[in-house]
Amino acid sequence: MTNIQKKREQLMKYIRGMESVAVAFSGGVDSTFLLKTAQEVLGDRVVAVTARSCSFPERELNEAILFTKENNIQHLIVDSEELDIEGFSSNPLNRCYLCKHELFSKMREIAWKNGYKEILEGSNMDDMGDYRPGLDAVSELGIKSPLRYAELSKEEIRKLSKEMGLPTWEKQSFACLSSRFPYGESITAEKLKMVDLAEQILLDMGFRQVRVRHHGTLARIEIDESQFEKLMEKSTRFTLQEQLKEIGFIYVTLDITGYRTGSMNETIDPASIG
């Protein structure tokens, strides 16, 4: 048995020890793998819970709904509007904590109300190497993190997802749209819509892994380095500039470092987070 297979067995054994579970389900790589694994282990003692908010694109919600229908998994949708959380819109360093605490509190309430004993979320080992205040909320509220328990990395989750035939095995990584703003820059529904539309434009143009970072009137685009040449084609640049101007951006720039997770955390002074 290979190491990755041992980790999968460990994951399944961990879940098997639970009576029933509610899985925080975004439709992304990690939560889809976790949800499907939980269903394999516990059958109909599993429910998917998805949060609907302006930080969560409609395309992602629709994909989550479709997956649960196709796999005959009960699916609950909870409205969780981050902008209503006190202090969230000012985008403080602990923004993710505020969001996750409110979100998982609601998920826990709806799960318990429907008779599900445990709440699971899909963070993996790669999430341990960056500033992730949301994980503090996960710990405080007693939410279980089976993928971290089994010490699974994102790459391993993709490999296992491919073996299981999951459509998400090569899906782009996604984080809530609120992560596209520099800390301290206010977040509004209008700005979130700008980011959502801009990223959809890039996806429709064939760019696979994208982030549009919102810096006031400037859109800083992060894409995989392998697609730099495609973006720099004259017709592509012209079309992109025109379409992003239509949704409110004046300036459009390409980040020459390329796509990476947590690029907004690069501005954080380590002393400010203890």
Cα separation, 205 vs 73, whole angstroms: 33
Q: Which residue has the higher pLDDT, 262 or 199?
A: 199
Task: Give yes or no for residue 8 having a pLDDT over 80.
Answer: yes
- Model confidence band, residue 82 (pLDDT cutoffs 50, 70, 90): confident
User: What's the pTM value of the predicted model, to 2 decimals?
Assistant: 0.90
Q: Where in the chain is the domain with CATH 3.40.50.620?
A: 3-163
Q: Where in the chain is the domain with CATH 3.30.70?
A: 177-267
Q: What is the CATH number of domain 177-267?
A: 3.30.70
- Model confidence band, residue 132 (pLDDT cutoffs 50, 70, 90): confident
For the stretch 175-196, pLDDT in tens is 889 999 999 999 999 999 999 9
Give me the mean pLDDT over the 44-48 stretch.
97
Question: Dihedral of the CA atoms 254, 174, 268, 223 (nearest 10)?
Answer: -20
Task: Give yes or no for residue 64 having a pLDDT over 60.
Answer: yes
Q: Which residue has the higher pLDDT, 219 or 79?
A: 219
Question: What percentage of residues in the chain have a pLDDT greater than 70?
Answer: 95
Contact, 249 vs 241, CB < 8 A? Answer: no
Contact, 143 vs 100, CB < 8 A? Answer: no
Give me the mean pLDDT over the 16-43 stretch.
97
Assign domain 3-163 to its CATH superfamily: HUPs (3.40.50.620)
- Model confidence band, residue 63 (pLDDT cutoffs 50, 70, 90): very high
**Residue 192 structure tokens:** 């979130």
**Residue 80 structure tokens:** 């969780």
**Residue 3 structure tokens:** 């190491």
